[in-house]
Amino acid sequence: MYLRSSKKILQHVEDIVHDKTQVHEKSIDLTVDSVYRFTQPGALDFGGSEFEPAATEIIEPQKENSNDDYGWWKLDRGYYKAVFNEHISLDEDMLAIIAPHDHARQAGLLTNTALLAHGDTSILTFQVPEMGCNIKENARIATAYLLYI
C-alpha cells in the first residue's frame, strides 16, 4: 500500500477549484460547494433493507456585500454535511482517505477521518461547536489522500 503523488491523484479528481492552491505533493485539498443541516434521523439495520439516510436541508450562503463574489455559511452549533466541489473516482485497487483540513480543525470543526474503498467521496459530515463557525464558499475543508493497494 502506498500514497500516490498528486500527478497520479489528479487523474482521479474532477472539478478542482484552484489547482495551484489545492494540489500538494501527496494530497489534494477539497473545497465546499454546499452545506446541509441534518433535520431528521436516519435508520440503520443489519441487512440494509430498512436503511434510510438522515434527512437534510440545504443552507444558502449569505453575501456580506452585494458585490461579493462568494458568500458565507454562518453556522450555529449542530451537525452538518458539506458537499465538495471536487469529485474523486476510485479504481478497484484504490482507497481514499478523507481527513479534515488543518484549517477546519483549527476553526473548531469536529469530524472524523474516513477511509473509503468505494462509495461517496464527495461529502464530509461535521459538527460545529457551541461558539459556531463561519465558512466561506469554496473554503478548503478536507484533504484527500489516495492509496493504491
Q: What is the pLDDT of residues 48-83, one digit of tens each?
A: 999 999 999 999 999 999 899 999 999 999 999 999
Amino acid at 66: S
> For the whole model, what pTM was predicted?
0.91
Is it true that domain 2-34+72-148 has CATH number 1.20.120.140?
Answer: no
Pairing of strands 13-14, 140-148: unpaired
Residue listed under C-alpha cell 489516495: 146
Query: Residue 14 is placed in which grid cell?
Result: 474532477
Alpha helices (H) in the chain, listed in sequence order:
6-10, 19-22, 102-106
Q: What is the pLDDT of residues 91-107, one digit of tens each?
A: 888 899 999 999 999 99
Amino acid at 75: L
d(CA 108, CA 131): 9
Residues pairing with 124 in the sheet? 82
d(CA 34, CA 31): 9
Burial of 89 (0-12, 13-18, 19+ CB in 10 A): exposed
Query: Residue 84 is placed in which grid cell?
Result: 465538495
Contact status, residue 141 vs residue 135, Cβ threshold 8 Å: yes
Contact status, residue 16 vs residue 22, Cβ threshold 8 Å: yes
Show me where the domains of the chain are located.
2-34+72-148
Q: What is the pLDDT of residues 7-50, one digit of tens each?
A: 778 888 889 999 899 999 889 999 999 999 999 999 999 999 99
